Amino acid sequence: MNVLVIGSGGREAAIAWACERHGHAVRIAADLPTPIDAHLVIVGPEAALVAGVADRCADAGVPCFGPTAGLAKLESSKGFTRTLAHSLALPSPAFHLSSSADDALAWWRAFGRPVVVKLDGLAAGKGVIVPDGAEATEAAIRELLEQGPIVLEERLIGPECSLMAMCDGTVARPLPIAQDHKRIGEGDTGPNTGGMGAYAPAPVPYDPDELTATFIQPVIDYLAEVGAPYIGVLYAGLMCTADGPKLLEFNCRFGDPEAQTVLPLVTDDLAELALACCNGSLGERHIAYEGAACTVVAAAPGYPAAPITGATIDFGNDSADALLFRAGTDGNVVTGGRVLAVTGLGADLATARSHAYERMASVAFDGRQIRRDIGWRSIGAQLTSYAAAGVDIDEGTRAVEQMKAAVERTHGDAVLRGVGSFGGVFSLAAIKNMDDPLLVASTDGVGTKVELAARLGKYRGVGMDIVNHCIDDVLVQGAHPLFFLDYVASSKLHAEHVAEVVTGMAEACEVSGCALLGGETAEMPGVYAEGAFDIAGTLVGVVDRAELLPAGVLQAGDVLIGVASNGPHTNGYSLLRKVFDWLPMDSTPPGFDATLGDTLLRPHRNYLPVLDAALQHRQVKALAHITGGGLPENLPRVLPDGIDAHIDLTSWPVPPLFRLVRELTPGMPTEELYRTLNMGIGMVIVCSPEHADGVQALIDEPTWRIGELVAAPGEGRKVHLG
């Protein structure tokens, strides 16, 4: 066939490539010529559809893959789309149409929840503001109203995905689901753009055919019933929320850069599919595709606010594993905001992504902007457990059970607590000024957090980590630290690195009046990978038997008070490193007060200064340090038989880091997430209800009543999250 593609950007280049690969003769034109010398017209941009290209083709008797101007209103008017979606009961956010600031502000204030502000009309993907806070929301409403009517929508939370389906007026058949990256900055920060990259298939937990049946087929059916059959691509922008997928918008054409991502995966002849849609003969045919693709967009300096054009482009080296689609170019000169896109191909996303960035590395022009994190959300979306990130908590628990008998054979009468507790307890009555002094010991390691410290070259904090972790482990027995012994091992020792680690240990010891006695430094090539190191240590503390925790009888009705963590501490880093593998550590995601790297490397908190006053008043029955295993695994370690704990997960504010991890791992069950990470609670206090107010008053920072103890049948000692 002779195929005419209308448009001039990267999307149109991808459409042309997809037709040419099957032997069709393709011409790209910015507008529809007269006469129309083509067997088939495929329309790329939404503006051409709104301008009536499909209507003109119909008048000339030429098949056109694209809806009429009247149907393009699905994209050109968000208000029209919202109203139609509501009438068809498509899962959607709450919304309000407005043309005045007073009306819009009144609805938003009455609504009482965060909103997204959108221009009702076309805005090239940039007429959307996601404001943060009341002041920003009011400003966004006023700003967009200056450009025309707006739509206020309930702000939804979850990963977005792009569902594009080819439609023949009766049936709709989906293409691979893609995920776009709209914002200019890494970690999805900064202003919206037309799209800085995409990948497909996106690992959403929904079948493309089921999503098509829910969101697209009802529209096709309705339009067929009213005598306006829809021909072309209907693109549903969806958000995968905790309550299921919801409709964000409809577009009436291939997405950009989704087309550059998805079309190379389609093994069917695109021109034949488009013609079948024009003829109403798609029928039972399903669109075949294979492999994975990742597209990285290169943008001009100043984009999206004020692109600077005119730079000379070096398009680099061709690759068998990547395609380059030109967009804002004239020859080898930059002429537009989004200059070009590189699409890497492979059997899986990791391979495709590698090919895309390898090809993009050879592309050069002054001020080139690219995002280094395309596809970063896909890793977390595929994780359903901590074991999927390489750590099996259950295996660790089984190991403890198997070693417990052998360890307990070494215990004499003086050992009160050993394996399975937060720390060993040993009676030493000779310590002065105590009626019956008990030694409390804890040995631990920093774990895979050291890999991140080595990668970023920041060592002092992990020295603090090991000391503070051990202090907290003996603190739950009511003990104060006496001395600490350290162990540092690496593939090759670097004096500066070791000194930085030990200095961090010394600083942490000094805060708690604990002596750093020294320890072991080992160089072990062949055991540790090049550049890797490990930290462990043992801390010994002391407590009078009368002050040993748990104290008294823990019983139903006792209150659980949560004390804030200041980060993941030293647990969950195999998951965290996996989730954020493709997000640069020097980026600052929304809501963070520091870069991602600095946030993840905050030292494990020392709870002794926080809780010392409360412990002195003897109103605390028990403490639980929330370490590996989270709330579900650690709180039972202080519970007696026949007692369970109920935790209200809405009772404390989850910090931004943990909120982002939860967003990035929609397939991970709540129980699994809360036993992998502390989620903002680093220590739990158990006390009687009558003492709860007093205990909280003795802690000089916000705390939260996060739950209570309840009677349980049988052995009990379980944690229920709700």
CB 107 within 8 A of CB 96: yes
Residue at a domain's end among 34, 50, 65: 65
Residue at a domain's end among 65, 89, 112: 65
Element (H or E) spanning 219, and its range? Answer: helix 217-225
Same domain for 641 and 526: no
Q: Which amino acid is at 611?
A: L
Q: Distance (Å, rounded) from C-alpha 81 to C-alpha 312?
A: 41
Q: Distance (Å, rounded) from C-alpha 722 to C-alpha 707?
A: 10
The label of the residue with tokens 């009468």 reads 413
In 3D space, the residue among 635, 632, 633 whose CA is nearest the CA of residue 621 turns out to be 635
Summarised one tens digit per residue, pLDDT across range 295-311 is 999 999 999 999 999 99
The label of the residue with tokens 């008043």 reads 617
Domain count, the chain: 3
What are residue 618's phi and psi, to 5 degrees? Answer: 60, 35
Write down the pLDDT at residue 399: 47
How far does Cα 560 stand from its chain's mean position?
30
Q: Distance (Å, rounded) from C-alpha 439 to C-alpha 356?
A: 58
In a domain, 680, yes or no: yes
Same domain for 696 and 577: yes
Write down the pLDDT at residue 413: 65
In a domain, 604, yes or no: yes
In 3D space, the residue among 706, 588, 578 whose CA is nearest the CA of residue 654 turns out to be 706
Same domain for 662 and 531: no
Q: Distance (Å, rounded) from C-alpha 683 to C-alpha 240?
A: 33
Same domain for 719 and 584: yes
Domain of 47: which CATH number?
3.40.50.20
Same domain for 567 and 542: no
Write down the pLDDT at residue 480: 93
In a domain, 182, yes or no: no
According to DSSP, the β-strands at 160-168 and 179-180 are unpaired
Same domain for 521 and 437: yes
Distance set, CA 335 to CA 119, 185, 193, 331, 495 (Å): 26, 22, 17, 9, 53
Write down the pLDDT at residue 579: 96
Same domain for 510 and 558: no
Write down the pLDDT at residue 400: 46
Expressed as residue numbers, the domain containing 500 is 413-548
Write down the pLDDT at residue 189: 94
Residue at a domain's end among 548, 575, 590: 548
**Model pTM above 0.75:** yes
Burial class of 537 by CB neighbour count within 10 A (0 to 12, 13 to 18, 19+): buried
Q: Give the full edge-to-edge strand order of the sheet including 231-241.
A: 172-174, 160-168, 231-241, 244-251
Same domain for 421 and 452: yes
Same domain for 566 and 715: yes
Secondary structure percentages of the chain, helix, strand, coil, to 5: 30, 25, 40
Domain of 585: which CATH number?
3.90.650.10
Q: Please give the DSSP secondary-structure letter assigned to residue 496.
A: H
In 3D space, the residue among 34, 26, 31, 27 whose CA is nearest the CA of residue 45 turns out to be 31
Same domain for 713 and 663: yes
Angle at CA of residue 540, ends 534 and 545, nearest 5°: 150
Ranges of residues in the chain with a pLDDT under 50 are 396, 399-400, 403, 406-407, 410
In 3D space, the residue among 97, 145, 98, 93 whose CA is nearest the CA of residue 114 turns out to be 93
Domain of 522: which CATH number?
3.30.1330.10
Same domain for 714 and 593: yes
- Does residue 327 sit in helix, strand or coil? coil
In a domain, 676, yes or no: yes
In a domain, 612, yes or no: yes
In a domain, 502, yes or no: yes
In a domain, 701, yes or no: yes
Summarised one tens digit per residue, pLDDT across range 470-479 is 999 999 999 9
The torsion angle over the Cα atoms of residues 138, 144, 147 and 152, rounded to 10 degrees, is -100
In a domain, 489, yes or no: yes
Same domain for 607 and 487: no
